Amino acid sequence: MKLYRFLTGPDDASFCHKITAALNKGWELSGSPTYAFNAATGTMQCGQAVTKEVEGKDYSPDIKLGEQ
């Protein structure tokens, strides 16, 4: 099965670490990152889609994507 996640976070090192951790767990970047201003917090936010192919499992809405 192919899994999809959209990771978001503030425009700082924590977002880069979040993406790096996902890549090291076998997730792959999908498309370009996004960058937007969050008016509620007054900060810039980043987003990046990632996908991962997992063999031998069937999709279920109960899957914890972050644990894959």
**Does pLDDT of 67 surpass 90?**
no
What does the pLDDT average to over 9-26? 96
Whole-model pTM: value is 0.86
Whether 15 shows a pLDDT value over 90: the answer reads yes
pLDDT tens-digit profile of 21-37?
999 999 999 999 999 99
Strands (E), the chain: 2-10, 28-38, 43-53
Is residue 52 classed exposed, middle or buried when 0-12, 13-18 and 19+ CB atoms within 10 A define those classes?
middle
**Facing residues of 6 across strands?**
49
Dig out the tokens for 49 from the structure: 């889609």
Question: What is the rounded average pLDDT of the residues 51-66?
Answer: 90
